[in-house]
Amino acid sequence: MAMLLIYAAITASLFCFLYLFHRRRSCKHPLMRDYPILGMLPPILFNLWRIHDFCTEVLKKQGGTGEFKGPWFTKMHYLITCDSLNVQHMLCKSFDNYIKGPEFREIFEPFGDGVVTADSETWKYFRTVLHSLIKQRRFETFVDKTVQKKVHTSLLPILDHVQQQGEMVDLQDVFNRFTFDNICSTIVGHDPKCLSIDFPEVAIERAFNESEESIFYRHTVPSSVWKFQKWLQIGQEKKMTEACKTFDEFIYSCIASKRQELSKCSREEMDNEAPFDLLTALITEERGRVHDDKFLRDAAFNFFVAGRETMTSALTWFFWLVTKHPLVEAKILEEIKDNFEANYEGVVGIEEVKKLVYLHGALCEALRLFPPVPIERKQAIKDDTLPSGHRVNGNTMILFSLYAMGRCEEIWGKDCLEFKPERWISERGEVVYAPAYKFIAFNAGPRICLGKDLAFVQMKMVAASILRKYRFQVVEGHSPTPSHSIVLLMKNGLKARIMKRL
């Protein structure tokens, strides 16, 4: 019996030695300490509350690129980078070799086969159709009127009401409701009126939040764990299933109503009178190909997430940064005053905000420091070598941290942690455009965001309309903590008090 125990101990020791030897050989550029069995997961879990700052620190120590290995017997093996040349290589120069991949689509299940998750011909078709719609002047005019109406009839009156009552308000919640109403009107032609004085709870809005939290959760645990939870319908996966059911019922009902509404219209009425929301445009401009309900559902969902969350995130962090930098706020107000008459009472429109260069620079800074999507994911098809010298094997999962890139001295200089709108303005007073693979908030290469310009003008319309009337004071002791979601929101919102400008 004693001999058996000795042999078992020797075998176990040899096994552990071989395991560790193999791990070290297969992981040549470890980002952090590799624990037996658990891999590098313990420090990630320990720092989950500050995960983006932690990853930034780790990447800086490793020169911008390194490998992460999760627990034994899991597929949590990633190459992680914040090197802009690596990003340029993957997103631009070798675009065809780096795809979203089947595992990405599995994790991002609610997105379906939309433009965010699709690859190859499906992605090209989606992008071609959407590009033809977004670039139409008619669509820009529709968005301009929709945003102006929402700002005038809902956003400003509610801020005025809160100010008069002397109440505290969660600005992130306000922006979330505003952008959700706005994106609903833009996509399906329906305003759910989330942004009301009584701040009602809307099931579809909550469902989108829960699905995004579930997607983030799927990134933090081995796939076998969340798949098992999905099979049992417990925990975060149960929330995901319920959320998917809620927003699918909403979107499919919108599609059915829209088809019925349009069936009663003549072609001439569709061209001249029908509102140019995205769903109407997709149904009426099918280019010889009939779009089934699944196609329309996936297109709508992808636009909901892209349009809603990026605006909410960007505006929330922008206003927080502005409240912390009064000199920047003063320069934004001075620019608004120089471009608009003092007694101007209307909502600033698309054409007007194009003049606001300093405001544009301030929004770019907010997006640089707090990109709405802090981490991107790619999968290599064939073996490759990155500009940093790191070897990439076929099927390797690669994560690049947009959050860390915004804090790289190599990209932005020694003042990279400063909120400095001036870095985006030339000596002639014009906007400086950084290469997309460095300023990565809107992606880069063939997948660069189609709605980038439209997003900027909408953010400027909202920011200018608010700042010229109100100033904010963040509640004392309130510190912004990033939420555990695929979008960089504040975990506890942005609590502030509103004061009217004199």
Q: How far is CA 394 from CA 76, 99, 174, 224, 375, in A?
A: 15, 11, 45, 22, 21
| Dist CA 214 CA 227 (whole Å) | 12
Backbone φ and ψ of 479, nearest 5°: -120, 135
Q: Is 27 annotated as a binding residue?
A: no
Bridge partners of 495?
A: 170
Distance (Å, whole) CA 414 – CA 417: 8
Helix runs in 370-419, H state only: 402-405, 409-412
**DSSP string for 372-412:** SS-EEEEEESS-EE-TTS-EE-TT-EEEEEHHHHTT-HHHH
Q: 475, 447, 412: which is closest to 124 by C-alpha? A: 447
Phi, psi of 41 (to 5 degrees): -70, -40
Q: Please answer whether residues 215 and 486 qualify as being in contact, where contact means their C-beta atoms are separated by less than 8 angstroms.
A: yes
User: Residues 440, 371: contact at Cβ < 8 Å?
Assistant: yes
* Cα distance between residue 358 and residue 316, in whole Å: 18
Question: Distance between CA 170 and CA 497 in Å, rounded?
Answer: 9
Indicate the annotated binding residues: 449
**Which residues contribute to the annotated binding site for heme?**
449
